[in-house]
C-alpha cells in the first residue's frame, strides 16, 4: 500500500481532498460519457478505497449527476471541476479524476479503454494496450 498522501481539489479551490492509499486501475477512458464530462479527448481515472479518500474542505460544494442508476459523478458546483464518481452498489471504492490531483502521482495508466468511442482527432499512446470496452479481467464493480 502507498504510504504517502496525495492531495487535490477543484479549479476554484473550494473542494479539497486527500488520498491516503494507492490509486489503482488507472485507465484512459475514451467513452462518450467521460469525454463529455471532462470536455476532453478522454478521462484519466483511478480507483481508490473509499476509506482512503477524505474531503478536507468543500464536500458540501459538490453537485452530483446520476449518469446511470448505479453511478453518480460529482463535480464542484462553482467551477465545474470533476472530482470523483461513486457506484451505489460498491460503496467501498471511489473513482477519482486524476486531473484533480495536485501531488505527483507515482502510479501510471495501464490501458486505453472504450477506444471505439474515441475522438477521431486524438492520437493514442502507442505504448498502452487498447480495448473496445473494459480491459480483460477488470472487475466492473470499480469503474
pLDDT (tens digit per residue) in 6-32: 999 999 999 999 999 999 999 999 999
Candidates 45, 47, 7; CA nearest to 27 is: 45
- Binned at pLDDT 50, 70 and 90, residue 143 comes out as very low
| Tens of pLDDT, residues 73-113 | 999 999 999 999 999 999 999 999 999 999 999 889 999 99
Q: What is the pTM of this model?
A: 0.85
Cell of 76: 464542484
The domain ranges of the chain are: 6-142
Q: Is 6-142 in CATH node 3.40.50.800?
A: no
CA dihedral angle for residue 49, residue 103, residue 72, residue 37, rounded to 10 degrees: -150
Phi, psi of 18 (to 5 degrees): -135, 140
Instruction: Report the distance separating Cα 73 and Cα 22, nearest Å.
Output: 21
Amino acid at each position: 500500500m502507498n504510504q504517502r498522501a496525495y492531495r487535490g481539489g477543484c479549479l476554484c479551490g473550494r473542494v479539497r481532498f486527500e488520498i491516503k492509499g494507492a490509486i489503482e486501475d488507472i485507465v484512459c477512458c475514451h467513452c462518450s460519457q467521460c469525454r463529455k464530462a471532462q470536455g476532453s479527448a478522454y478521462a484519466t481515472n483511478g480507483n481508490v478505497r473509499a476509506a482512503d479518500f477524505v474531503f478536507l474542505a468543500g464536500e458540501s460544494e459538490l453537485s452530483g449527476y446520476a449518469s446511470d442508476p448505479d453511478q453518480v459523478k460529482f463535480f464542484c458546483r462553482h467551477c465545474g471541476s470533476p472530482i470523483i464518481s461513486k457506484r451505489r452498489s460498491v460503496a467501498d471504492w471511489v473513482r477519482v479524476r486524476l486531473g484533480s490531483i495536485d501531488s505527483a502521482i507515482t502510479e501510471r495508466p495501464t490501458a486505453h479503454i472504450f477506444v471505439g468511442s474515441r475522438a477521431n482527432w486524438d492520437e493514442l499512446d502507442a505504448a498502452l494496450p487498447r480495448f473496445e470496452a473494459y480491459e480483460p479481467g477488470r472487475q466492473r464493480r470499480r469503474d
